[in-house]
Amino acid sequence: MMKIKYLLLFLIMGWVLCQAQTNNDGKHTLEVHTYDELEKEFYGHRAGDANSKSIAEHYLKKAKSEKNTAHIAEGYIMLHFEENVPAALKYLDSVQYITQNSKEDIYPARTYLLRGNLYFRNDNLQSALNNYILGLKYAKEKGNKRQIAMAHISIAYLNNYIGKHEETAKVLKHYAYDADYMNEDEKNSLKLNLADAYIEINKMDSAYILIQDGLQNSRKHKDLYRYYQNLGLLGYYNLHSRKYQKAIDGLLECEKYFFTNNNGSKRNQHYTLLYLGKSYAGLQQKEKAVDYFSRIDSMVLKTNYIYPELRDVYTYLIDYYKEKSDTEKQLYYVERFLKVDQVLDNQFRYISRELPRRYDTPELQQEKESITNELTKRKSLFYIVLSLLLISHLLFINVYFKYKKSEKNYKKIAQDLILSVNERKFDKDYKSEPEKETFSEPLSLENTGNAEDKATRTISEDVAQTILGELEIFESKDQFLNKGITLGSLAKKIKTNSKYLSEIINTHKGKNFATYLNDLRIDYAIRRLANDRKFRSYKIPFIAEELGYNNEQAFTLAFKKRTGTPLSVYLKEIENMTGK
């Protein structure tokens, strides 16, 4: 069983590999093998197979001997699947270099998409997204529908990973049913992924229909690997439906298949054990659940394969051994949790906050220290409890006084802002000169000089003044309140390009475009909230929308970052100072 991340990965890789087979003529030969024959043999093996690398090396040697640029590029692509990240990136850099003048519609999009997949497989999601976006851009320029589809689905996966399951399902459904350029195998993969997304959004009936169709289709074509993928997904469906015994029955079959003769990847194996453990936990068969979760820990130690659901594994094991009063094993799994949690925070920082946490890392660190102290010094239970109570009390006092101090500071900042508004310090001149505000960081004279020298060499004075004039209109007419403003859209509106506009804003405004736009909006909010009682009476989501923000959270975060005080404190102090 594997989650949608990994199912999508195989589908994406399949599309990339398909590009190779549909864009080579196979006319040349070396010994008895044509290019097409070598490609078919290579892509018939799974990446990482020892024979795959020798085929790729043979292919590249043949292409170089014939000085065939297109096939040399394909040889580098084959080899990149067999290497670690640094070496694979060098191969893809070579592909990009030798195809830079290619007339084929697959380049340069294919290189960016392959690079995105490489980062994706190694959990560098930010770099993967950047490359997928570039791949999508060039695929659209060349009108390559398959590459456009691949980029859309890759980005849909990233949306799914941050919890946007509805959007993911919408994209997968479109390409599974409405894209006539997708072959049958690709559609089956999409439907498998779509079923997984449906489970996440509780469209259980739709998921069940797709899973049953997948099982029937894989039986018909005698595709064992796809059959057990669907069977594993059925196990996840039953687990989600709390039909624990049904889940176990199917997942035990998956366990037998995926752990026999290397039929399954480590991802298949991990998720099979994970859902078996969760199913037994659902039946309150704790010993069996612990057995499967312990096996997962052993596999993690061997493979260093880490994924977010491991948090559930370790918290269950910690609670189990805590209940058994086995402090040594409890301590062991606390330490394992802390190591895994640190890796997850590093790899999935912007994603991990969406996942529920039963144990906060600082609390676990404190618990670890307490248990270690108990094991080493053999102190009495009373002493441990007393120590924890004392620490908790001190921490509470410390947090309380910090809170009171910050609250006082917030009020002072808010009061100064209100006084500044009353003294007409937030005028139009401020919007183009952020250094005048007390809560804005002043620009370094040395840095400003360097930036201006660079801008002078890049942009003529006439162009710069024209852009500054357009920005003055943009500010004076409060056009920054419009929703959906981007650097590109503003550049188009004032008839320049994004690079020039970005450089002018960085040089003359002392900030990047996003900060510039946020500062304009927040400064406007500061003035209007202080002066307009009716506007102040509106609910925060409405105010945020009026200011051009997509949601309340984006507005309140921007306000705090710009002013140094929360919006709620600012509004409260306005009421206190004005009495209205």
CATH code (residue 479): 1.10.10.60
pLDDT at 447: 43
Q: What per-residue confidence (pLDDT) applies to 443? A: 33
Long-range CB contacts for residues 140-147, cutoff 8 Å, separation at least 24: 142/105, 142/106, 142/109, 143/105, 144/105, 144/106, 144/109, 145/179, 145/181, 146/15, 146/18, 146/19, 146/181, 147/15, 147/19, 147/106, 147/109, 147/110, 147/113
Compute φ and ψ for 356, nearest 5 degrees: -70, 140
Q: What pLDDT, on the 0 to 100 scale, is given for residue 137?
A: 86
- Asked if residue 362 lies in contact with residue 395, where contact means CB atoms within 8 angstroms, the answer is no
Q: How far is CA 441 from CA 35, 424, 437, 449, 460, in A?
A: 61, 20, 8, 17, 28
Please name the residue that has the structure tokens 């894989």.
218
Output the furthest CA–CA distance in the chain (Å, rounded): 92
The long-range contacts involving 425-433, CB below 8 angstroms and separated by at least 24 positions, are: 426/523, 426/526, 426/527, 428/475, 428/476, 430/523, 431/475, 431/519, 431/520, 431/523, 432/471, 432/472, 432/475, 432/508, 432/509
With residues binned 3-state (H G I as helix, E B as strand, rest as coil), the percentages for the chain, rounded to 5, are 75, 0, 25
Name the token pair of 567: 């919006």
pLDDT digits (tens, 9 = 90+) for 21-80: 444 443 343 355 788 888 888 876 544 455 778 888 888 888 899 889 999 999 999 898
Q: Which two tokens stand for residue 368?
A: 């670890």
- DSSP code for 512: -
Query: How many angstroms separate the Cα of 493 from the Cα of each of 467, 472, 480, 488, 550?
Result: 11, 13, 12, 9, 21
Rounded to whole angstroms, how far apart are CA atoms 171 and 166? 9
Give 10-36 as a DSSP string.
HHHHHHHHHHHHTS-----EETTEEHH
Residue 553 is assigned to a structural domain of this protein: yes
Contact assessment for residue 316 and residue 293, using Cβ atoms and an 8 Å cutoff? yes
pLDDT lower than 70: segments of the chain: 1-32, 44-50, 123, 161-162, 261-264, 346-371, 374-375, 379-384, 399, 424-458, 579-580
The one-letter amino acid code at 313 reads V
3-state secondary structure of 70: helix
Residue 93 forms part of a structural domain:
no
Nearest to 83 by CA among 94, 67, 69: 94
Computed on alpha carbons and rounded to an integer, the radius of gyration of the chain in Å comes to: 29
* Residue 445 counted as domain residue: yes
Burial of 558 (0-12, 13-18, 19+ CB in 10 A): buried
- Asked whether 277 and 289 are in contact (CB, 8 A), the reply is yes
Of 293, 12, 241, 277, the C-alpha closest to 136 is 12
State the DSSP code for 417: H
- 402 located within any domain: no
State which amino acid sits at residue 38.
Answer: L
In a domain, 562, yes or no: yes
The answer to whether 96 and 106 are in contact (CB under 8 A) is no
Question: Which helix (DSSP H) or strand (DSSP E) does residue 153 occupy?
Answer: helix 145-161
- How is residue 441 annotated by DSSP? P
β-pairing verdict for 29-30 and 33-34 = antiparallel
> Does a structural domain hold residue 231?
no
- Look at residue 14 in the predicted model and tell me its pLDDT: 56
What is the distance between the alpha carbons of residues 229 and 470, in angstroms, rounded to a whole number?
57
pLDDT of the residue at 250: 94
The span from the CA of 42 to the CA of 238, in Å, is 37
Token couple for 505: 């804003």
Q: Is residue 473 part of a domain?
A: yes
User: Terminus-to-terminus CA distance in the chain, angstroms?
Assistant: 61
CA atoms 367, 369, 373, 376: torsion sign = positive
- Collapsing DSSP states into helix, strand and coil, what is residue 30? strand
- Tell me the C-alpha distance between 234 and 557, whole Å: 42
Both structure tokens of 272 = 């099979």
Residue 547 belongs to what domain range?
428-578
Please, which residues have CB within 8 angstroms of residue 3's CB and are 6 or more apart in sequence? 196, 271
> Which residues neighbour 255 within 8 Å (Cβ) at sequence distance 6 or greater?
272, 273, 276
Strand partners, 33: 30
Distance of CA 308 to the CA centre of its chain: 12
As beta bridge partners, residue 30 has 33
Structural domains counted in the chain: 1
Q: What is the pLDDT of residue 354?
A: 31
Whether the Cβ atoms of residue 373 and residue 391 lie closer than 8 Å to each other? no
Q: Identify whether 230 is part of a domain.
A: no
